[in-house]
Chain A
Amino acid sequence: MTLAEKILAAHCGKDRVSPGEFINVKTDLVLSNDITAPIAIKEFNKLGLGKVFDPQKIVMVPDHFCPNKDIQSAQQAKLMREFAREHKIIYFEVGEMGIEHVILPEKGLVVPGDVVVGADSHTDTYGALAAFATGMGSTDIAIAMATGEIWMKVPPTIKFVFHGKPGKWVGGKDFILYTIGRIGVDGALYSVMEFTGDAMEALSMDNRFTMSNMAIEAGGKAGIFAVDAKTKAYLKGRTSRKYIEYRSDPDAAYASIIEYDASQIEPQVAFPHLPSNTKPISQVGNIAIDQVVIGSCTNGRLDDIRLAARVIKGKKVNAGLRCIVIPGSQKVYLDALKEGLIEIFIKAGAAVSTPTCGPCLGGYMGILAAGEKCVSTTNRNFVGRMGHVKSEIYLANPAVAAASAVLGRIAGPEELA
């Protein structure tokens, strides 16, 4: 069996599961946020059970439109907050919150071998911790909150092997964009993407989170890494929960095995309006931009903020361009502050915001006008995602985003040297 199949088997009381099988899975953590929780709560109430299955395994995070951006958002956030208090579930208030997929691992709420379901498509992020984590809708989450179980169809696994030593400015974002560029936005539809190879072993945890985060952008159900020394080091001090290290068998059955040479992959830029519309940075051409966003559950962790700061240090944000930096959590913000990174951004002329999803989904804090172009470290560049339908989003890694902010056009960091 594959790593993912082993986790699922262990959570449905079977020795073996195989792709295509319908199973009822026990959940270790059930997540929702300020835009998906209201519907989940409504459906939960329809069940008429009155209580959640285990308050310590349910978490709600106000991050999408919080701190509240308008009256309607405030109403939704209030609905969620009151439910969380009433049922005594895990809840992070503004001031201690961050983007859900940044803070859940950070707070040690996910360990290897867990099954995590969330009413947010980027719940797949926790695959980086060798958990089976996947996004669902609000009704599914209502059922999981009530019963601690949810149905799933066992997905096939596609194995990705990355060999070789990548270039200086190439990281998790580039590997995943490259992969999506190759296989397409439905290239891993209904499947688990398992990331392996020496280039993956060399990746930091923050870079692994970035990759797992975007498995959904290839249609994937999960994006998973096996446990190694880096995983263990990350978990140390964050959790005292015991965990099982599952590993794919040498003879595990994969739907396919895809190999890439990491040393040949350049920083990638995904052009509008699909994450699969990628080009290597050397082939981008001259594209003037109006805004840069550095943040989100894809690239709002400390590694990302450090990388962007390293590129922008001592330089100035291009005149006539807005650069917005949004640390993914209060901890990332504080760490960045202590390291002097926030000062670097502010001196360069960038705006730094409190943690929120904000512009990533066109909420607030950096909405685009008609005709504007933005380089963003987020994960989706769909039509209208960040504002006006006639605006454009180019997805890139934090180093490319920072270099673009300085040069006023899409550019790689080596151009600044």
Chain B
Amino acid sequence: MSLKGKVHKYGTNIDTDAIIPARYLNMHEAAELAEHCMEDIDEEFVKRVQAGDIVVADTNFGCGSSREHAPLALKGSGISCVIAKSFARIFFRNAINTGLPLLECEEAADNIEAGDAVEVDLAGGRIINHSSGKTFTAKPYPEFMMQIIAEGGLVEHTKKKASGAR
């Protein structure tokens, strides 16, 4: 699958309260949450973002709470994937489970700027920065996780397992 969009760039330790402030956790639909995505650190994000866009960040993206509302808000905003140097543990699980692809790649995070046009080939982990012409390769997912992703997330994976056991 190939993903393509403009880049929204952020720094280190982007926490889940920044991605979706807790005051909106009285809702849980992706579309509702998307209306407030990133608003505390980037008021313009909601107005600027377009379907397919990509978030690029430094280390420890998604740290803080376990709220699945965070990947849901990003997905609801149209974000097609997140590229960062590293991800916080729970956010990583949640993104895989909700079908938001994440790519871990130091080089890409250092060499992509806000507004760049970037294309990502998920299967090979290839990241192409069309604005600079540079390409990068993300760390591959462990095989176990690839399987979950290929099967369409943890719920589908579990369903398949359950029906296989029957």
Interface residues of A (CB under 8 A from B): 22, 35-36, 38-39, 42-43, 46-49, 64-65, 69-70, 72-73, 76, 118-121, 123, 135-140, 142-143, 146-147, 151, 153, 185-186, 189-190, 216, 219, 221, 274, 361-363, 380, 382-385, 389
Contacts and interface: CB of A to CB of B under 8 A. Distances in A.
Interface of B: 13, 15, 17-18, 21-23, 25-28, 40-41, 59-60, 63-69, 72, 86, 88-90, 93-94, 97-98, 142, 144, 153-155, 158-159, 162
Contact of A70 (B26, B69, B86): B26
B26 A65 contact: yes
A382 B72 CA distance: 20
Given A35-B28, A139-B154, A382-B18, 13 more contacts: A47-B155, A49-B162, A65-B26, A70-B26, A136-B66, A137-B90, A139-B153, A143-B158, A219-B60, A361-B65, A362-B23, A384-B17, A385-B17
A136 B88 CA distance: 11
B88 A137 contact: no
A28 to B, nearest CB: 19
Contact of B22 (A42, A142, A361): A361
17 contacts: A35-B69, A36-B68, A47-B155, A119-B66, A137-B66, A137-B90, A137-B97, A138-B68, A139-B153, A185-B13, A189-B60, A361-B22, A362-B22, A362-B23, A363-B22, A383-B17, A389-B41
A219 B26 contact: no
A143 B65 CA distance: 19
Q: Which 8 A-B pairs have the closest CB atoms?
A: A137-B94, A72-B26, A139-B97, A361-B22, A384-B40, A137-B68, A186-B60, A121-B66
A380 B21 CA distance: 13
Contact of A382 (B17, B93, B144): B17
Contact of A48 (B27, B86, B142, B159): B159
Contacts of A186: 13, 59-60, 63, 86, 88
Contacts of A73: 26
A382 B158 contact: no
A39 B69 contact: yes
A185 B18 CA distance: 15
B132 to A, nearest CB: 28
Contacts of A69: 26
A383 B65 CA distance: 13
Contacts of B67: 35-36, 137
B40 A389 contact: yes
A46 B97 CA distance: 13
A143 B159 CA distance: 10
A64 B25 CA distance: 9
A35 B97 CA distance: 18
Contacts of A137: 66-68, 90, 93-94, 97-98
A186 B23 CA distance: 25
B89 to A, nearest CB: 5
A139 B68 contact: yes
Nearest to A74: B26
B25 A151 contact: no
Most chain A CB inside 10 Å of its own CB: which residue of B97, B144, B155: B155
A136 B94 CA distance: 8
B86 A140 contact: no
Contacts of B15: 380, 382-383
A139 B153 CA distance: 9
Given A135-B66, A383-B40, A384-B21, A43 B59 contact: no
Contacts of B153: 139
B145 to A, nearest CB: 8
A146 B158 CA distance: 10
Nearest to B27: A72
Nearest to B153: A139
